[in-house]
Structure 1
Amino acid sequence: MEKNEYLCELRKATKMNRREFADYFGIPYRTVQDWELCKRSIPEYLLRLIEYKLKTENMIKKSIVEKNEER
Structure 2
Amino acid sequence: MSNFENYDFILHDGVVIENEKADKEGRKKRMSAMCVKVREQTNMNRKEFAEWLGIPYRTMQDWERGVSEVPDYVLNLIAYKVKNEKEKGNI
Which TM-score applies when normalising by structure 1?
0.78
Deviation at 1:43, TM superposition (A): 0.3
The gaps in structure 1 that reach 5 residues or longer are 60-71
User: Separation in 2 of the partners of 1:5 and 1:47?
Assistant: 11
The answer to whether 1:14 aligns with 2:50 is no
Q: Give the length in aligned residue pairs.
A: 59
Greater share of helix: 1
Deviation at 1:9, TM superposition (A): 0.8
Deviations 1:44-64 (A, max 9, x none): 0000000001111116xxxxx
Query: Percent sequence identity over matched residues?
Result: 46
Deviation at 1:16, TM superposition (A): 0.3
Greater Cα radius of gyration, structure 1 or 2: 2
Give the 3-state SS of the residue equivalent to 2:70 in structure 1. coil
Deviations 1:15-64 (A, max 9, x none): 100000000000000000000111000000000000001111116xxxxx
Q: Counterpart of 1:28?
A: 56
User: Separation in 2 of the partners of 1:12 and 1:49?
Assistant: 16
Which structure is richer in relative contact order (CA contacts within 8 A, separation 6 or more)? 1
Alignment RMSD, CA only? 1.4
Q: Counterpart of 1:65?
A: none
Greater share of strand: 2
User: Separation in 2 of the partners of 1:13 and 1:54?
Assistant: 8
